Amino acid sequence: MTERKVLVVDDEIHIVHVVAIKLRNNGFKVISAENGAEAFQLACQEKPDIIVTDFQMPLMTGLQLVQKLRATEQTKDVPVIMLTARDFAVEDEQKENLRISEFISKPFSPKELLRSIEDVLYQRQLVTEKQ
């Protein structure tokens, strides 16, 4: 089975680090970025199977990153999980338009994040097999 690739995006280096260790310990390949611009470039180059991104980041927010991904042919279908410490919820309409698979609020459990990533990838696999 091909190693699945995860792009982790967060301006908090410690978060990126802990998520990377957890995922690597569970057989994932991890690439990371500290901001949206860097993340977009990596997404186009590396074509990750899934992107885990923070909501609030300098220069380009998580939502802006996803908007850009959905507007680009090569990245429009990549599943996205969003981490957020914000106390307001993103509107359902926005979630639907941007096709964000899941919102996980901070502080989060690395175990649960891993479970969510595996669920999303499994669902994606089922859809791909049906097609």
List residues near other proteins by CB under 8 A.
Answer: 11-12, 14-15, 17-19, 21-22, 25, 56, 58-61, 85-88, 106-111
The answer to whether residues 116 and 102 touch, using CB atoms and an 8 Å cutoff, is yes
Q: C-beta of 65: minimal distance to other proteins in Å?
A: 13
Q: C-beta of 93: minimal distance to other proteins in Å?
A: 20
Which one, 23 or 69, has the nearer CB to other proteins?
Answer: 23
Looking up tokens 């091909």, which residue turns up? 2
Residue type, 25: N
Q: C-beta of 22: minimal distance to other proteins in Å?
A: 6
β-bridge pairing 80-84 and 5-9: unpaired
**How many Cβ atoms from other residues are within 10 Å of residue 25's Cβ?**
10
Which one, 105 or 123, has the nearer CB to other proteins?
Answer: 105
Residue 2 per-residue DSSP state: P
What are the backbone dihedrals phi and psi of residue 24, each rounded to the nearest 5 degrees, phi first? -65, -40
Q: C-beta of 15: minimal distance to other proteins in Å?
A: 6
Which one, 7 or 16, has the nearer CB to other proteins?
Answer: 16
